[in-house]
Amino acid sequence: MTDTKSQILGFVRDRYPQAEITESQDIFALGFVNSLFAMELVMFVEKTFGVTIPNEELRIDNFRTANSMSELVSRLLAEPAVA
Amino acid sequence: MTLIGVIGAGVMGVGVAQNLAQTGHDVVLVDKDERILADALATIARNTRMSRLMGGPALDPDEVLARISTAVGAAGAAKADLVIENVTENWDVKREVYETLDRECGPDTVFVVNTSAIPITKVGAVTKRPDKVIGVHFMNPVPAKPAVELIPGFHTSPETVQRTRDLLTAMGKKAVDVKDSCGFISNRVLMLTVNEAAYLVHEGVADAESVDEVFRSCFGHPMGPLETADLIGVDTILYSVEVLYEHYADSKYRPCPLLKQMTDAGLHGRKSGRGFYTYAQ
């Protein structure tokens, strides 16, 4: 597992220790994660990986799983910043 | 051009200002110091950016912020056609704000009291325009909630009710009519539920997770009462329970000591990073 992915998974697992969350699991489908947590995820990802997620990427699909979040981070780190 | 004054840049005022601005209204957002206002604008920028992620419309933060100006002190709303007041649920604080607004605003300005518990008729009596004072209980987070409680006071005129209804419609809100009574529908029931849930934790009967789990998994509520308390603000919950207790002089509203201790300790919920749960800042 990549470092990015394990950090993201660690953050989610810390918050919801009662669920055994895997990297491909849709956390919003678990039933007890509400959309406010999506906002915390955005803040965590931006702060931890030093990226700014562009508005068009702020879609729930990018935050459903640790896999999709780490793909988003890789994509953002690979691309040159656009003004 | 209509200008809406929003008094108080806390959790509710920020939500009301954002909701107004994103539905095309010009807003002057008022609080007692510059730092609170700067934080409020930053919060609105962040929340509008996150709007689509939270299930709302896609919004341009620059466009929303361009409709919001700020001012220090209630007199900053002097030019507003309608004022929505969202200061803390503390009678002395509210009374002072209404005395200032009544002095500074034009005679036709409508005052909307955004309260979860304080009687509207009592607020109207502080002003020389009780016919233009009306209650609207907005729910949190304001831009995401489809309905409000609409509460005319004893002297509120039909014109004031209509002006307020029109604004609510323009904000995308459905108004549920309620007569003026402390706590209205929502808080007579919700505050007692939260207070009793806090007693369960206080007495060690169950932890916060278990209390909320029963509400989510057994009753199908999207959130349990203690998560809701963290969202509203534990300090605000305490104030609301105290207002009910004082108003009805009924011991069934006695506030749980745990709510008092958490409020004193700064465990105010999401907005302070910790309440019944801990949040990433």
Domain coverage including residue A51: 3-78
Q: Pick the catalytic residue: B149, B240, B242, B268?
A: B149
Give the Cβ contact number of residue B268 at 10 Å: 22
Domain B186-272 has CATH 3.20.20.450: no
In a domain, A83, yes or no: no
Please report where in the chains the tokens 């649920």 appear, as a residue.
B89
A30 lies within 8 A of chain B by CB: no
CB contact under 8 Å between A60 and B49, yes or no, is no
Give the Cβ contact number of residue B17 at 10 Å: 32
Starting at the earlier edge strand, list the strands of the sheet with B26-31.
B68-72, B26-31, B3-7, B82-85, B110-113, B133-137, B147-152, B174-177
Q: Is B260 annotated as a binding residue?
A: no
In a domain, A40, yes or no: yes
A contacts of B209 (beta carbons < 8 Å): 18
Q: Is B271 annotated as a binding residue?
A: yes
Residue ranges of domains in chain B = 3-177, 186-272
Q: Is B114 a catalytic residue?
A: no
Picking from B217, B138, B226, the residue whose alpha carbon sits closest to that of residue B190 is B226
CATH architecture of B3-177: 3-Layer(aba) Sandwich (3.40)
CB contact under 8 Å between B49 and A55, yes or no, is yes
**Number of structural domains found in chain A:** 1
Instruction: Give pLDDT tens digits along chain B (281 positions).
Output: 699 999 999 999 999 999 999 999 999 999 999 999 999 999 999 999 988 887 788 899 999 999 999 999 999 999 999 999 999 878 899 999 999 999 999 999 999 999 877 889 999 999 999 999 999 999 988 999 999 999 999 999 999 999 999 999 999 999 999 999 988 999 999 999 999 999 999 999 999 999 999 999 999 998 999 999 999 899 999 998 998 999 899 999 999 999 999 999 999 999 899 999 998 76
Picking from B67, B82, B58, the residue whose alpha carbon sits closest to that of residue B6 is B82
Provide the CATH number for the domain around residue A36.
1.10.1200.10
